[in-house]
A and B are shown apart, each in its own frame.
Chain A
Amino acid sequence: MDITGSTTGQLLDAMQNGTVSAVEVTQAYLNEISAHGETVGAFLSVDSEGSLTQAAEVDRKRSSGESLGKLAGLPVAVKDNICTKGLATTCASRMLENFVPPYDAHVTTQLQNADAIIIGKANLDEFAMGSSTENSALQVTRNPWNIDHAPGGSSGGSAAAVGARLASMGIGSDTGGSIRQPASFCGVVGMKPTYGRVSRYGLVAFASSLDQIGPFATDVTGTARLLESIAGYDVRDSTSVDRPVPGYSATVEQPLENLRVGVVSEFFGEGIDSDVDASIRAAIDVYRSLGAEVSEVSLPHTRYAVATYYLIACSEASSNLARYDGVHYGRRAEQFENMIDMYAASRAEGFGAEVKRRIMLGVFALSEGYSDQYYLKGLKVRRLIRNDFDAAFENVDVLAGPTCPTPAFKIGELVDDPLQMYLSDICTISANLAGIPGVSVPAGFSSNGLPIGLQLLAGPFEEEKLLRAARMFERETVWHTKRPSFS
């Protein structure tokens, strides 16, 4: 059996009927990590021993007839800003290079309850701030489809691990596109759930009103299975929402009747790559061929989304990252003059350039005399962006467009131009401001062989509809079955 070439469903079936054991599955992925891990650079740490122990426990439970979780024996790559008790959680920052959490994130516990195997911790842009994973202070991650290109970000390690088949599934976090954009770049499915659908307890905070944890898999069904295992109310996150979690994987195969698809005109604007444009228009034709009613939809405030996002996200980040003071945990400078200087020196040593830039922008946007002009203005435009979506969803079920205007850019291409890098998030960012769910599904390749992602968006808590709509497209296409040639 080609273990690492299998979907989550195929692996679960094979383990269930005894074709392979959980230990064999985990070992197969560990072997792939040994062979290609260094090339891709997806993992900051690999827990070989722990994952084999967990897998052996799954096999033991199965042989003794004990009940097993929904993800039993599936290796998962967890973004390294999600706390794992006893396993380093670095946020890819010098600040937290040696931080070992004394507790598990809610999502970590959910994965363990589902009997998933946490195989390693995945690289990211430092504190999830970035769109290419190049802001990691610890390691370079490469796109498995072309190692000269970036995997996207900030969850680039999780996306690259799944794309390169170094893990069966991945967990990321999405503040402005940080799951969907790398999913698009690495040719996998990635989903940002509705704000509040998944508990953020134990996720290292970047922008608290925008951050949301979500799943990666090689197909929509695997994504549905992982989401239903991590979603749900948690008393420790007061913004998690107390409503039942539908069995997404049970309904994902059911096509939606009378589906209305809205094509977002603004997502096909200036700067869209011609291959992306052609692939996404072809994807929309797939929906037409399935009988969906397709219409053009306008989200008129889209052109303000990036500016609004950076004001709000950086303001929240400047507050959240104030906790890194070199006192309770994290880096402390060796040389300083007094207490205040200890804070400032520790933070200067611990944070990389992008994190400093965003803290500075946030502190400025919140500062006396400027907060009305910047932060408050951002909050008002945010409401107008949400209103655009509310109006659109009165007439359509899902919105469609590219996940990113271009395929994966080259490593180093945008690193000195923060504003251009920010603009690569133009199609994903408004979903975070509005709090709605979105998914990126493989939808083709550029002329130079890089994956292209179709983004679908739906109204709040419409994940079930979104996944079913995504699966309708996936069933008609072969893009999700393609694998990078090095593996």
Chain B
Amino acid sequence: MLSPEDVQKVATLARLKLSEEELEQIGHQLGEILDYVAVLDEVDVSEVEPMAHVADVFNAFRADETRVSLPREESLSNAPKTDGKYFLVPQILENA
């Protein structure tokens, strides 16, 4: 079972600002899911290689050629905050 501190730590790592109620509910549900996932303890995987991907994928090289990229206006078209040139974010440096 996860402690409330564990759940808060995961929420912080996940960059999710959760209410007390959400923390409690998700903590409880995560506990249930982790209990269920413990079924995997039955499986002996000592000789098994992990499989991150089903296909044998190799590095996909391509020619290093200049291509047209998305115009600035279109790149900024969905920005929550912009001055028309940049994506605007809150100040992160003191006295800048």
Complex contact B40–A378 (CB within 8 A): yes
Among B30, B53, B80, the residue within 8 A (CB) of A329 is B80
Q: How far is the CA of A238 from the CA of B62 in the complex (A)?
A: 10
Chain A residue nearest to B55 in the complex (CB): A196
Among B32, B39, B43, the residue within 8 A (CB) of A384 is B43
B71 to chain A, nearest CB (A): 8
A77 to chain B, nearest CB (A): 24
Complex contact A238–B57 (CB within 8 A): yes
Whether A360 contacts B89 in the complex (CB less than 8 A), given A99-B78, A195-B54, A318-B14, comes out as no
Q: Is A396 an interface position by the 8 A CB rule?
A: no
Among A239, A301, A341, the residue within 8 A (CB) of B17 is A341
Task: List residues of A (160-207) whose CB comes within 8 Å of B's CBs.
Answer: 195-196
Complex contact B87–A338 (CB within 8 A): no
Task: List residues of B (1-39) whose CB comes within 8 Å of A's CBs.
Answer: 2, 7, 10-18, 22, 26, 29-30, 32-33, 36-37, 39
A303 to chain B, nearest CB (A): 7
Q: How far is the CA of A318 from the CA of B40 in the complex (A)?
A: 21
A65 to chain B, nearest CB (A): 33
B87 to chain A, nearest CB (A): 6
What band does the interface of chain B fall in when counting residues whose beta carbon is under 8 Å from A? 35 or more
Whether A304 contacts B39 in the complex (CB less than 8 A), given A325-B15, A348-B17, A351-B16, comes out as yes
Q: Is A76 an interface position by the 8 A CB rule?
A: no
Complex contact B15–A344 (CB within 8 A): yes
Task: List residues of B (50-72) whose CB comes within 8 Å of A's CBs.
Answer: 50-55, 57, 60, 62, 70
Complex contact B22–A374 (CB within 8 A): no
Q: How far is the CA of A342 from the CA of B42 in the complex (A)?
A: 43
* In the complex, chain B residues whose CB is within 8 Å of the CB of A341: 17
Complex contact B40–A239 (CB within 8 A): no
Complex contact A376–B50 (CB within 8 A): yes
Q: How far is the CA of A422 from the CA of B34 in the complex (A)?
A: 13
The interface residues of chain B, by DSSP majority, are classed as loop
* In the complex, chain A residues whose CB is within 8 Å of the CB of B53: 209, 239
Complex contact B52–A102 (CB within 8 A): no
The interface residues of chain A, by DSSP majority, are classed as helix
* In the complex, chain B residues whose CB is within 8 Å of the CB of A377: 40, 45
B25 to chain A, nearest CB (A): 8
Among B32, B40, B70, the residue within 8 A (CB) of A381 is B40
* In the complex, chain B residues whose CB is within 8 Å of the CB of A239: 53, 55, 57
Complex contact B18–A364 (CB within 8 A): no
Among A195, A307, A332, A374, the residue within 8 A (CB) of B36 is A307
Interface membership of chain A positions 192-229, coded 1 if the CB is closer than 8 angstroms to chain B and 0 otherwise? 00011000000000000100000000000000000000
Interface-centre pick from B10, B26, B32 (highest chain A CB count, 10 A): B10
Q: How far is the CA of A330 from the CA of B78 in the complex (A)?
A: 7
Interface membership of chain A positions 329-359, coded 1 if the CB is closer than 8 angstroms to chain B and 0 otherwise? 1111000101111111101100101001101
* In the complex, chain A residues whose CB is within 8 Å of the CB of B57: 238-239
Complex contact A304–B43 (CB within 8 A): yes
Q: Is A46 an interface position by the 8 A CB rule?
A: no
* In the complex, chain B residues whose CB is within 8 Å of the CB of A376: 50
A226 to chain B, nearest CB (A): 23
Binding site for B on A (CB under 8 A): 98-100, 102-103, 195-196, 209, 235, 238-239, 241, 301, 303-304, 306-308, 310-311, 318, 322, 325-332, 336, 338-345, 347-348, 351, 353, 356-357, 359-361, 363-364, 367, 374, 376-384, 386, 418-419, 422, 433-435, 460
Given A357-B26, A364-B2, A422-B33, 6 more contacts at CB 8 Å?
A98-B78, A239-B57, A353-B22, A357-B29, A376-B50, A380-B51
8 sampled A-B residue pairs with Cβ under 8 A: A239-B53, A343-B15, A344-B16, A351-B16, A361-B33, A379-B51, A418-B32, A422-B33
